[in-house]
Structure 1
Amino acid sequence: MIVDSIHHCADNLDRFDTKWNRTVENTLVTVTCTGEYTGTVSRNCSSGGMWNEPDYTQCISKSIKNIKTQLDKLLAEDSEFPLVSTILGNLENVTSANNELRTGDLVTASALLEDIAKYVTNHTDKISVDQLENFGSICNDLLEEKYHQSWEEQKDKGTSGITTVVKAVTDYNSVFHNVLDGEFSMLVNKENIVIEVGKTSSAEIIVPDRLQTNDSWIVDSGTEMKLKKNSCSDLTGYSCTFYRNISSLFPKQLLLNREVQPFDGIYDVNSIIADVSIEAESCSDYSLDLRFGHVLGNHSRPVCGFWEFNASNTVNGAWSSFGSLVVDSTDSYTICEYNHTTNFAILMSPERTPSPDNFPFSLISAIGCAISILFLFITIVVHLVLWRYVRTDRSKTLMNLCVALILSYVLFLAGITRTENKAVCTAIAVALHYMFLTDFALMLAEGILIVRMVIIVFPTKSIVHWLLPTCWVVPGIIVGISAGVTKLNGYGNEQFCWLTLDSNLIWAFIGPALIVILINFVIIVLTVHKMMTTKGLARKTLEEKSRIGIESICVILPLFGITWVLGAFSVNEDLVMFQYLFAIFNSLQGLFICLFHCFFNKQVKQGYYHFQRRRKANWSNIVVSTDTSNYYTHTRQQRNSNGIFTQSKEQENGTTYRYASQSLYGN
């Protein structure tokens, strides 16, 4: 663009030789089209003295204007209306000329094709064999690479754009097979478009015909349509059209849950466009498979899409995946199965193909989470059995953490990949956000209790009555605020039911988690330092101090979530070792908690010793009571026989038990 230092757009001559005089910034200039064109062209002089691209939408050549007049007569069924073949021939002569068409010509010509397609749909007797070649040639001319910028401008303005041409081809080809009786096959093989129309009695239809398109670009594209007839009449009419270079010209809109959403940056159309239609009257039961060769590398997660022209709240439609299924996919192609016909393509995410390490990561996480759930459950059961011996503030906090981790693991395993339903996926993402924040809150509570015992050696006042409820309430507040501010945008995506990494919402988890990790790391340093400087350890050797320090760290780490620091290194895909360490340590957190806070815990061991001792004492008490009862029963029988002593059985047993207890244990 030409820039003027005093904020005027300087004199300029554009590519169509239209002269634009010096103009003040922020001014829209409109001039009459030059040469053999009618209408006006406009151009905006934007802020800073820069010309925008001129808008030639209203600038139409006189030749196309005359053809439009002819078509108007045909549609009005004027007594002197021309034949469809004549109009198509005249339009082909204009579009195939060497001179460049302007935007108004492209828009008008595509509208003419659409009107012709609608006309022949209602007047099939007006179709002739020679028309298909003319129709295909016109479309090929309109799809030339040199016109892509004009089509892009129409797409950005929200007008019908290139989809008008595609819709015209779909409507026209769907009725063209009625032009001939019996089996036939016709091919239009052009640089930008390949059309095959015909009728066949074969049980399987494969397009394109490799014999007729051996030297065509369509063979190199790796795209193929295969239709298997299940319940069809003898002759089945079909048409198939392939577009070489218009994938990027479609609006980036996707129909999800009956709502049209933009997908720019999320998906790319990664194949050529293929249009398929079947004569509905002759074939109502069929299976349609399309093999699409990928046109872009470094893409993954294919979605079999089709263009829904009638999508609500759109000018020209949107992509949809309804009635489609990915049958097979590799780095170079994707095979889709459809239960209907229309314009098809492959949508893929512009991301690297999933790493071969993804499966091991998933397997490690699944096995690790299952092991953690098992050992967390064991930890809870052991503490409940020994609760009268191990009941402390830390034990209460540990039980809350175990329950929270079990809920987190179960929700993760059951729901992280449930992306089929957007509402369900969003709910799972919100629940995971809350549970993971609760995990970290309880880890922080563990740290607070430990540092409190270090600073206040014998704390007399418990704080868990308010600390534990806080750990469950505060994460809910954070999640509620995050969900309200973002209106749930960022909760779940097409890959996982978790917070999207490309949105700021992820910081609603990373921020609190990093704060907890930092605080707990400081607590670890303070705790170990305090232990090492006590009088009891001052006289120990360096080896003994190191052993005690390492044991202390091993006990503390599973509760503090410090291993999540490995996640910061695992973000870099080149550091695969850190990714494996992160997956192993975090998925096995429950195992480590069980080992160091249950199996190897002195308080639990002592509690188990007392539990066993009490259990044995109770058993001995029962045995002694039984023996004593038998002795007195024998004595009573002797006394009863001598008439000395009588007493009911119930009274005797109760008195005997109390007597035995008093005699043996003095209580």
Structure 2
Amino acid sequence: MENMKSILCVFLYSLVLISVTTSGPLQCPKPWVKVHRACYKFVKEYLTWDSATAMCLEEGANLASIGSMAEKMKMMKHLTNIIRKPNQDRWWVGLRHNQSRAVWRWSDGAELNGRVTPWSPGEPNNGRGDEFCAEFHIGGRLNDVQCNTQRFYICEWNKITPPPTPSTTSVPLTTTRKQTTTATTSATTSATTSATTSVTTARAVTKTTSTESPKTKMTTINRPTESSELLPTSETPDTAETTDLYEIPVSKTKPFVTVTPKMLSTVSNIAEDNESTEMSISMSTTKLPDYEYPISNDRSTKIPAPRHTTHCPRRVAYGLVWPETKQGERRKIPCDKGSGTATWQCGRNPVRWTKKPDTRACASQQFKDLMLRVSSGKPDKSPIVTKEAINIARDLVRKTDVSKPMSVADISISTTILRKVTNVQPKSTVQAVTLVKELVKAGSNLVANTERSADVRRTDKRRAAASILSAMEDSTTSMAEAIQVPIVIKTSSDKLELELYVVNTSDVSEALVYGGDEGKDGVEDGDKVSIPASVLQQISTDGLSKVVFMKHSDIGEFLVAENESSVTQQIASNVISVSVGHADTSKLSQPVTFSLKLLQRIDVESVPLCSFWNFSEGESGSWSQAGCDVSNMTPYRVTCQCNHLTSFAILLDVSGVAMSSRHHSILRYITYAGCIISLISLFTSWLTFNCLSPLQSERNSIHKNLVFCLFAAELTFLVGIDQTDKQVSCAVIALLLHFFFLSAFTWMLMEAVQIVIMLVQVFDTAKSNLKYFYLAGYGIPIVIVATTAGIDFTAYGTPQYCWLTTDRFFIWSFAGPVATVLLVNAGILTYAMSTVCRHSDYVFSREKANAGNFKAWIQGAFALEVLLGLTWVFGYFFLNEETVTMAYIFTVLNSLQGLFIFIFHCLLNKKVRNEYKKLVHISKKAPMLSSTKSASLRKNDGSYAL
């Protein structure tokens, strides 16, 4: 009866799995094709990027956005099948450079993820100065090109069911304006032009009013939000002002405006009350996500601005928790340590937290005293003199050079002190050199304190690192500006190395070179920066060129992306800062060359990025590649050229080398082959444990359930490997995998518990513990999975895998229990094996013949512990790093788990082998029986006989 129940469970689970993986497929009408979770249209018509965007949007779609590795691989596979000529290998996708924010964004609003879609070597290079659109190569990499280049293009109906059909509904947008109130509406006249317009958005820092010229029109709109509503518009479009403004330059071709579904609905209602219809958007009646829709019209149109929030959101920043605050208010909160209060302004236009809070009152008293000295100076509040500045700098070095970590407020106020202490005019070269050396020591100490502050959040360390970098640049260049004679100052500390040059430009005939020392074998070693003589002439003032070089050895590890969950790059070199004071370095006459030694060897398939820290990006800056190109690279060194000066570094993909399509294909074949072998092995093991009566025992029941859980998990994995394009099915598959793998590990723990019970009870099996094993074996996983799903069901299923997301630590709902089981099992099995080896005469005093079998049992359990443990240790690293090596190791181990279990628990088990031999013996004798004599089996002293 128990065996029949087990068979019925396997059958029912197979039916459930089939229903999950075959339900609700996305249907795409021709010529659209299903790729991953969307419908795609591959159009073999040469168009510019803007024209291609307009053509896609006419069908209610957009240029394709690539958001996952699975989506990219399936797109590459389809392109390979339809391309017939060599010149058809590059296609437009929805990726464009946002010049105001120096980032590449997809048409769905997401930032480029270099881990999924890397750039081709040396790209993006903006070689022609206006390469702001991206083309996708069938090899899986991107290239920046001019937007007026003509390419084939890919439209995407983004994750919507049902897909677009040829019949569409025209949603009219009229230029006739209405003043909207609660109860009444009135029509007003419109301002018009006769050109097709293109609108692209770029953030404006201050209020702007729309102006118009024969070539360009500037329009202002609000940033769209989820709760966007149309605001009333003014009768005079040229003087309309809104909040959270964006400047929108409008060219006379290629229309482009941000429209949300709610905006379209509202505009449609407005248009129904007006007889005049000046433009329309052709689109499906299906609800669309927020996109940038092109508009082709014959009149100038002012798009009504959506309303957004009136409060700054809750934030955890600068070591403090800032509650939601109404716009225009200054929030005061008590310091985390000490008696002071911190303040942060919630801005009105736009509604957001201002650049930085005032946390000076939260700093330690010793730093407050230093701040008072540097701010007030002498009793009459006259500026501090050089001698006092040197003393303050030395005190700052002493106060930062302590074992006790500094708080965020201490680091923040210290950077302010660094800037203020240099507002002096050194009276001698000796004073200048002394002050610069003290500044370098203080900066090095601040970096060290940031590094060892374990209780400071990662985001706050990022802000601190950016603040230190900026403060050191400002303070050292201020010192350089104060020096009016040619001089070279060189100094270094643990975390920082500085060289300050003041050179007479009349004596300059060749490039100014920093670093570039030769190693023992004569090969260039270390970092090198070369500034051409023409650039030195360009930045000179009164015949003197002033340049400060700084090398930061450890600060780069904190300069990461603001959104830590999307981090895809890491610093692969030291950070080299090159600053020249107040001279304009945005457009140099010749590029500056810098050659940086890599901290680790890079693979030939890796794409290094020549990057600089853009302080104007985001809250505290971000890495950007604008104006910098790779000119040469080796596995240990990258040489770059940049047309501006700032802080440089080499970035690499944090996930390692992106796997090629060839590796993906090989891994897929290994997975299918290995899983099929594993399933056959597990099923054979399951039949063995169920059908051979002499094997029945509590231990056998444990093995039976362990094998069943692994069989269900492997079957789910095999069937669900390609289900990422169906979001609900993918989530269910991830949940099932989570449950069955946890159950397998829990049953493995039950086996270890059973071993301990046998050691304690010495084979006294009068009392069965099987019901408790079932309760724990399936109850614990159910609780964990239910808790995870209850907290956030979207944690199950990602665009890359039908598995748990690694965001927000949800992966630890699997990794945590698994690590606990592995550690507990290791301790139990080690104890059991040592006990058996040392006290076998005592432990097996009643049944000495079983000592060998018991040892074999422990050895089998230990082998299973090692197998499953290694599999998921490599699995954890693979899911976090996705390197080729980890992928192969995890795939092979995961695919062959069933085979190893069959070998260890069946083929290498003497008792099981004997039962196999008896079955073979029976099958050979059965045909020899007389037809009149019934065959029967009876058990006699542990053997079968006829």
- Give the TM-score normalised by the residue count of structure 2: 0.31
Larger relative helix fraction: 1
- Give the TM-score normalised by the residue count of structure 1: 0.43
Q: Which has the higher contact order (CA 8 A, sep 6+)?
A: 2
Bigger Cα Rg: 1
